[in-house]
Structure 1
Amino acid sequence: MDAFDKHILTILQKDCTLSNSEIAEQIGLSTTPCWRRIQALEKSGVIRKRVALADPNKLNVGLSIFVMIKTNQHNPVWLDNFANIVAQFPEIVEAYRMSGEVDYLLRVVVPDMQAYDSFYKQLITQADFSDISSSFSMEEIKYTTALPIDYIK
């Protein structure tokens, strides 16, 4: 990956709606080599997909909750079941298996406390959890989907 590829990634992570010619102009290449580079980045999996980022407030899901889950079940069957449960809830927008005190961390988006309470009541019937605690985001200080490119080898 060279400087052109890194520049393309930087541009696409900010705005993937730019045309190939606009990207080519910004990086100083003609359109065909630029297009080939983008295709190669997609084919290699460096670019997984291109998406539109929606405004949570405009979709009435402006409340973010971080849900910390602990379980006494540490086996592949439980994990597969939990992954299937997570996939069923559109309110869960991120899910991670963690090290340390908490086994799993979820980010949930809903309109309000009442919607979260309903979500929570559904979630706790789905699997055997030993503890669930929630923290509510009061303010989003930084949010980005752009990954740093300085570490590319």
Structure 2
Amino acid sequence: MIDKIDRKLLSMLQQDCTLSLQALADAVNLTTTPCWKRLKRLEDEGYIRGKVALLDPEKLGLGLTAFVLIKTQQHSSEWYCKFVSVVEAMPEILGFWRLAGEYDYLIRVQVADMKRYDDFYKRLVNGIPGLSDVTSSFAMEQIKYTTALPLTL
């Protein structure tokens, strides 16, 4: 279970995981040792899954974002495991969800351009038999993007 202090620490780390232990401790009115113990517990209990740098896809030449909706008539465990292994092996795929509703899966893809997307698409549909509908939409503008969860303090 986490308390208000834990939530404050998590909220701060979501915004900037490079904050010093001293800065975090000061913000929650703790000394560094109890603050460190809280952070260690939050990591050990899985509240903190990792610490990463958020990169700019445009600056790295990966400016095309696609959202791919997939329908399939295949739902066996064997097919699902094959699908997951193909998707996990494709570095262009940044997000992968199983859905309830009209479509079965949603994939978020980041590539350089339409040619690279077409190459990706061909590998996807050729690598996974049994896809009955693959519909792609392309982002024209990113209006909001955050990795920060809405923690109430």
How does the TM-score come out when normalised to structure 2? 0.95
Q: Which runs of 5+ in 2 are unaligned?
A: none
User: What residue identity is the alignment partner of 1:149?
Assistant: L
Structure 2 partner of 1:60: 61
CA shift for structure 1 position 2? 1.4
Structure 1 partner of 2:100: 99
RMSD value, Cα:
1.1
CA distance in 1, matches of 2:81, 2:23: 44
SS class of match (2:137): strand
CA shift for structure 1 position 103? 0.5
Which contiguous aligned blocks of 4+ residues in structure 1 show a shift greater than 6 angstroms? none
How does the TM-score come out when normalised to structure 1? 0.95
Structure 2 partner of 1:143: 145
User: What residue identity is the alignment partner of 1:114?
Assistant: K
Q: Which runs of 5+ in 1 are unaligned?
A: none
CA distance in 1, matches of 2:80, 2:60: 31
Number of aligned residue pairs: 151
CA shift for structure 1 position 22? 1.3
CA distance in 2, matches of 1:130, 1:2: 47
User: What residue identity is the alignment partner of 1:84?
Assistant: S
CA distance in 1, matches of 2:109, 2:14: 23
CA distance in 2, matches of 1:50, 1:97: 25
CA shift for structure 1 position 18? 1.0
